[in-house]
Amino acid sequence: MNTSDPRANDLLSRVSEDISLLRQDVGNLFTHARRHTLPEAARGISDTARQRLASGRDYTAEHLRALRSQIHQPATAWVGGAVLVGLLAAGVYWFLKSDCCRHEETADEDI
């Protein structure tokens, strides 16, 4: 652009200089981000992951120890629970097979 207007030439020169400075700043920003910001963020992410894996490992180990201690306990609770369920089932069976229910059924049929 070849104009004889000095103001236009001055503005064009300033814009060209600003664009050149902007390109340099963007290049410096990318260089800084590549060398400093991204590695620091990656270290932060890896530290967080390492901490969470360690806490998960501790949590799992704690629960496995709890399960191991339950295995060594006597099985009386299991036997007691099975006996209780058996007694309930037998009671329901005898109740349904008893004569009290049959009398009601025959009384309903007579009506």
For residue range 39-68, list pLDDT tens digits in order.
Answer: 888 889 999 999 999 999 999 999 888 877
Give the integer Cα–Cα distance in Å for 32 and 28: 6
Residue 107, pLDDT above cutoff 70: no
- pLDDT tens digits along 64-82: 888 777 766 667 777 778 8
Map the chain to HEC letters: CCCCCHHHHHHHHHHHHHHHHHHHHHHHHHHHHHHHHHHHHHHHHHHHHHHHHHHHHHHHHHHHHHHHHHHCCCCHHHHHHHHHHHHHHHHHHHHHHCHHHHHHHHHHHHC
Query: What's this model's pTM, rounded to 2 decimal places?
Result: 0.41
Domain boundaries along the sequence of the chain: 1-73, 75-111
- What are the backbone angles phi and psi of residue 68, rounded to the nearest 5°? -65, -40
